[in-house]
Structure formats: C-alpha cells, structure tokens
Amino acid sequence: MPKFENPTGFLGKILARGMAWGHRDFYKSSAKALDLKEDDRYLEIGFGSGLFINKYASHVSRIAGLDCSKDMVELASDINKKHVASGRAEFKQGYASSLPWGDNEFSVVAAIETFYFWPEPEVSLKEAFRVIMPGGRLVLEMAYNNDDGIDHAKHIRKMNLKLYGGEDMKEMLASAGFCDVTIEYYKGFWIPFKGHVVPKGMIAKGFKRAG
C-alpha cells in the first residue's frame, strides 16, 4: 500500500492526486496564509502531486520543490511541465533536513500536510531558515494537530505522525530563528478517508528578520 508519508509507484501517484482533492480546503487556507506575489521565490517541501503549486503558486517568479519520493518528483514535474520547460520551476528529490539550495535563495518556504512526518523537525526548520532571505516567510500547515481536541492515537500509530500544538510550534520556530511567529486555526471538515476528521487545522507562520 502506498503511504501518505512517502507515496511511491503507480498507486502512490493516484493517492497523491486523491490527497490533493481531499486537501483542497487545506490548500485554500495555506494559499491565504502564503499570500504569494509575482516576485516571490517559492520553495515547497513535501509537495506530493504538485497540484497546490499548479493552482496557487504558478504566478511566482521562481518555483522550487523538494520531496523525498522520486515518484512525486516525476508527477509534480509532469503536472507543472510548462513551468519546468520554461526554466522557472525545478523539483528535486531529498529530505527537509538537508535542503539542496544556498542561503537566502527564497522569499517563501511552505510545507503543507507534511511537517508531522519529518523525523528531524528542528534540523529541518533551521534548514528552512537558512534558505529564506531576510524578510522572507515560512508557512507550515497541519490539519492534524494537538490543539484540535480529537484523539489521534490511531493516526499516530498508523502513519507514524509527530503531532504538535501551537505552543510547540511557536517554540520550535523561535529556536530556529524565526520572529513574529503566529498560529492560526481554520475550521476543519471531514475528508473522505475512513475515520479522518479534521475539526481544527493549524497554520504556523514565521519570518526571518529583515536586515
């Protein structure tokens, strides 16, 4: 069976497209928090199908993506082939804990429905901080979190999740160097996978101090 934390193969590609549909409201909340402009240089970690990029990030000046699944790299490159062909988009395989880009390269880094899979969250946040330019921002969206009031024991067991609350995120982002950290919640809903209820999704946002 393909896994949410690392979708692979033909079934993984189908799962990733299905996930994008199931995540459509998470995407809307993420897009609002990201507020992407034409001059943004955007990096998305754990992009999965790449459908978020296609719908909400295709107007920015530079698109980059990193995902640990090589099949997701293939799928997202195909879905965004127009932008790859023009040289504006690149998709790479790798892990959030070691970003294959230089310091200060991006104005925005995003991670949608993936942070809770990362085995080294603190190292990964420091990496995100490193590649963000002064004044740039980080947006992390997590539909499941420790503030949503539901029992995630089954999800933790089945999907090997590490769940966080708003206070955990504030602390982690601050110790990675981010300032003006805010935590927002959006109204959740039911998604069409057995037993998946999302009452209160969370978005953590932080900035790299300008200058």
Ligand X SMILES: C[S@@+](CC[C@H](N)C(=O)[O-])C[C@H]1O[C@@H](n2cnc3c(N)ncnc32)[C@H](O)[C@@H]1O
Phi, psi of 157 (to 5 degrees): -65, -45
DSSP state letter for 6:
B
- Return the range that interacts with ligand X (CB under 6 A); candidates 4-12, 53-61, 77-85, 148-156: 4-12
In eight-state DSSP terms, residue 105 is -
Of 42, 56, 91, 95, which one interacts with ligand X (CB under 6 A)? 95
Residue 144 and residue 91: Cα distance in Å, rounded? 26
- 20 forms part of the interface with ligand X (CB under 6 A): yes
Distances (CA, A) of 47 to 29, 55, 182: 16, 12, 23
Name the segment binding ligand X (CB under 6 A); options: 3-11, 150-158, 187-195, 202-210.
3-11
Measured from each CB, the residue nearest to ligand X is 48
> Quick one: which of 45, 60, 79, 142 contacts ligand X (CB under 6 A)?
45
Determine, following the binding rule CB under 6 A, whether residue 121 of this chain makes contact with ligand X. Answer: no
Residue 5 neighbours by CB under 8 Å, 6+ apart: 117, 159, 160
Contact characters 59-78, ligand X, x per CB under 6 A: -------xxxx--x------
C-alpha–C-alpha distance, residues 67 and 114, integer Å: 10
Which residues in this chain contact ligand X in the complex, by CB under 6 A? 4-7, 19-20, 23, 45-49, 66-69, 72, 95-96, 112-114, 117-118
